[in-house]
Amino acid sequence: MSEEVPDRPPQSGLLGALRVPRNATIGVAVGVALAVAVYAARVLELFGPFAGTREYPLLGPEGWFLVLAFVLATSTALLVTSALTVVEIVRQAKKLD
């Protein structure tokens, strides 16, 4: 048996065909926009003050909401990127038929 590894096609062709870089850019833009909007609404109290009283250790309320905004931005970016990539996969599959 030969121990040579067979040549593989470049992965960038698949990423390009599915338009992953474009989808990721759109996903990040949507995620950041949503996180900024939610952070601003909460921290600037655009809809009025929060009804409950809580203690926010170490970072204060703004710091904790900034951490939550980061989580919201990254998860939304991943969700939007995945959804757009699935749509592109379906579109490419229909093209082959």
- The whole domain housing 86 covers 19-48+60-96
Whether the pLDDT of residue 53 is over 70: the answer is: no
Q: Contact, 44 vs 10, CB < 8 A? A: no
Number of domains in the chain: 1
In a domain, 14, yes or no: no
The mean pLDDT of the chain is 85
Distance separating the N- and C-terminal Cα atoms of the chain: 39
Where is pLDDT greater, at 20 or 16?
A: 20
Put simply, whether the predicted model's pTM sits higher than 0.85 gets the answer no
For residue 78, the model assigns a pLDDT of 96
In a domain, 87, yes or no: yes
pLDDT in tens, 56-88: 788 887 888 899 999 999 999 999 999 999 999
In a domain, 9, yes or no: no
| Spatial separation of the C-alpha atoms in residues 71 and 18, rounded to whole Å | 26
In a domain, 41, yes or no: yes
In a domain, 26, yes or no: yes
* Nearby residues of 75 by Cβ (< 8 Å), 6 or more positions away: 31
For residue 37, the model assigns a pLDDT of 93
Whether the pLDDT of residue 50 is over 90: the answer is: no
